[in-house]
Amino acid sequence: MADQKATNVHWHEGDITREHREKTLGHKGATLWFTGLSGSGKSTVAVELEGTLHEMGVTSYRLDGDNVRMGINKNLGFSAEDRTENIRRIGEVSKLFVDSGVIALSSFISPYRADRDQVRELHEAAGMEFIEIFVDCSLEAAESRDPKGLYKKARAGEIKNFTGIDDPYEAPSKPEIHLHSDQQELAEEVQEILALLRERGIISA
């Protein structure tokens, strides 16, 4: 009986650890950090990957502007200080997900190298996988897509400090994965990521 089992059987190795949770889930936790210009296709890749992982029985969770800027970071603006704090908090939340055994798909422009490197160090210091995925795309291509009409507003001066227009995007120097979303097929991009996840033993073949 489940009731009996729950109280009479005990784990004997102390607290439940990340390894215990990963065993239940059948895969390892990791943060996949998608960085790139607005309109570069970060979310498109993350969504496609999420669906593919789901079909493989892998639990991933997407962190993006929708569930973060309106939630945990709703008291942050867009000053340099607040942008750094924005990424710091997202990095900490991603790390909690890795610790829970889930694969965090964190998709943010995150234009500053120092901020991203801090998130990487946070993970690596804890022995956690951090995979930086540079969703590279020419400004021209991203601007021509302009899915949210933001480039148009930035060009018109209605949005200030817009990445790629009047604020810099600092490209990763050594990303684990460098995608070219203006030249590659989506399926190919997803395969490239899955290959690395297998290579690192995060998911099984």
Q: Which amino acids are annotated as binding site for ATP, given as ranges?
A: 36-43
Minimum CB separation of residue 106 from its own copies in Å reads 11
Q: Which is nearer to its own copies, 20 or 148 (CB)?
A: 20
Q: Which is nearer to its own copies, 71 or 157 (CB)?
A: 71
Catalytic residue among 94, 106, 107, 110: 110
Minimum CB separation of residue 192 from its own copies in Å reads 11
Alpha carbons 37 and 194: distance in angstroms, whole number: 23
What residue ranges bind its own copies (CB under 8 A)?
2-3, 5-7, 9-11, 15-16, 20-21, 24-25, 47, 50-52, 54-59, 61, 63, 67, 71-72, 75, 85, 89, 92-93, 95-97, 99-102, 187, 190-191, 194, 205
Binding-site residue positions: 36-43
Minimum CB separation of residue 14 from its own copies in Å reads 9
Residue 204 annotated as catalytic:
no
Residues with active-site annotation: 110
